[in-house]
Amino acid sequence: MTTTAPSLPVYLDYAATTPVDARVAEVMQRYLTVDQLFANPASRSHMLGWQAEQAVEQARRQVADAINADPREIVWTSGATEADNLALTGFMRANRARGLHLVTSTIEHKAVVDTAKALESEGFEVTWLTPGPDGRITPEHLRDALRDDTALVSLMAVNNELGSVNDIEALARVAHEFGAAFHTDAAQAVGRIALDVVAQQVDLMSLSAHKAYGPKGVGALFVKRHPDIRVEALIHGGGHERGMRSGTLPTHQIAGMGEAFALMQREGQTDQVAIASLHQRFVDGLATLDGVALNSPADHAVPNIVNVAFEGVDGEALLMALRDLAISTGSACNSASVEPSYVLLGIGVERERAHSSLRFSFGRFTRDTEIDHALALIRHAVQGLRVSTR
């Protein structure tokens, strides 16, 4: 391998998905072909089944360790989307006696927003909290929304468009004061901030492998082992995962997620130190351009996500002019629509500025040279578009 100019396009969309770490891919390959451990991990009648089950259980420990949970508290899912659905719908349906009220925020991932809307049409009542301009929900703000019949509070750990970090420990404490359970979507948080379900008193936590250098199509829901924390299954079948989620477990996907989370536990902090210096390099470079402002907050934010407004430039046009960069206008799910990001609107950014905004996100494999190359392309594109619209 040589270290010449970066190959194009430069991938700065790690918040949409990360590449699978080669060490993870290597582990995944052990569970697929006829000469390997391909058997059904639920097969109890032969050795190959037990060995696949052992691989699943090792991964369960690895994922549990990364958030200080007990392995028995990990329920495999197809990703964080399904984990969010199971957490919200599964918990609200199982706890009707406790109350029909759910509290969440307007800038949650669509997997939470749309699930909460579906619950509204099912007869549950939802309070939608509006975050501050920094993308955070304060404990005081949450306290005002809580009621005797609040069954669940769902607030994300790290926002996927802004990188803003909620104080989940403080929020969970307030939820518990009112007897409500606390769920957090931590898909963007693994390896980026400290996660400890015991210290942070989290009852339900959604996780995804592919935001943490694992494969797409697998995730987990942490469900605290406590009589008050029950979720009703959404997918019925063979009674896998203690009845909470049926379906044959994908051994290779799960082993990959386990390895990815173990690597995050070992290397996540070191990654973030390196990424913080990439962030500084990028932001310093942007500062030499006129009319550039950050939508991401300066404090309480992860350095791997930078949301930037380019004054007087249409974001879609800029995206087109930056074909050599793999970036997005916000969440991947929105990049097909011309509506500005609901997350930016949700923190009070005006429509025009939201239309002029792009999200850049960095990761384990991002290099200084790629940041410099991206900056040069951005400078050229922004200047070109400003000239042409004058």
Ligand X SMILES: *Cc1c(COP(=O)(O)O)cnc(C)c1O
Q: Which residues bind ligand X (CB under 6 A)?
A: 79-81, 109, 111, 156, 160, 185, 187-188, 208, 210-211, 219
Q: How far is the CB of 103 from ligand X (least distance, A)?
A: 17
Nearer to ligand X, 60 or 109 (CB): 109
Q: How far is the CB of 105 from ligand X (least distance, A)?
A: 12
Tell me the C-alpha distance between 64 and 70, whole Å: 6
Please report the DSSP string for 4-66 in residue order.
-SPPSSEE-BTTT--PPPHHHHHHHGGGSSTTSS-S-TT--SSHHHHHHHHHHHHHHHHHHHH
Residue nearest to ligand X (CB): 79
Q: How far is the CB of 58 from ligand X (least distance, A)?
A: 21
Nearer to ligand X, 60 or 211 (CB): 211
Nearer to ligand X, 83 or 381 (CB): 83
Q: How far is the CB of 5 from ligand X (least distance, A)?
A: 31
CA atoms within 13 A on the CB side of 273: 3
Q: How far is the CB of 253 from ligand X (least distance, A)?
A: 11
**For every residue of 331-350, which 3-state class applies, written as one string?**
CHHHCCCCCCCHHHHHCCCC
Tell me the C-alpha distance between 15 and 191, whole Å: 13
Q: How far is the CB of 136 from ligand X (least distance, A)?
A: 15
In the chain, which residue ranges form alpha helices assigned H by DSSP? Answer: 22-28, 47-66, 80-85, 91-94, 110-121, 139-145, 168-177, 251-287, 315-321, 342-346, 351-355, 368-388
Tell me the C-alpha distance between 46 and 39, whole Å: 9
Residue 156's CB: how many other CB atoms inside 10 A?
28
70 assigned to active site: no
Nearer to ligand X, 13 or 185 (CB): 185
Catalytic residue, chosen from 42, 333, 345, 375, is 333
Tell me the C-alpha distance between 227 and 78, whole Å: 25
Nearer to ligand X, 253 or 381 (CB): 253
Q: How far is the CB of 185 from ligand X (least distance, A)?
A: 5
From the centroid of its chain, how far is CA 161?
10
Nearer to ligand X, 81 or 89 (CB): 81
Tell me the C-alpha distance between 167 and 298, whole Å: 15
Candidates 68, 62, 69, 149; CA nearest to 102 is: 149
Nearer to ligand X, 249 or 378 (CB): 249
Cα–Cα distances in Å, from 356 out to 25, 280, 383? 37, 22, 14
Provide the annotated active-site residues: 333
